[in-house]
Amino acid sequence: MDKSKVIAAYKRGFLTVRECGQILGIEELQLQSLLQLEESKTTLPPSNRRIGG
């Protein structure tokens, strides 16, 4: 399963943090870092986001 889909399921409340970590095969501390990274991607101001690629 795609990491982003697992994280999205966690954020929507379908999975607990423990279940999310088990599916991804990572420890809770690693998961917290991954979640912070995902959150920072979505909270950048528009001027800092790349458009096009």
Alpha helical stretches, state H, the chain: 3-11, 17-24, 28-42
pLDDT in tens, 7-52: 889 889 999 988 999 999 999 888 888 888 877 876 666 655 555 5
- pLDDT on residue 3: 84
Q: Domain ranges in the chain?
A: 3-43
- pLDDT on residue 40: 83
Contact indicator for 26, 35 with CB cutoff of 8 Å: no
- Whether the pTM exceeds 0.85: the reply is no
Number of C-beta neighbours around residue 31 at 10 A: 19
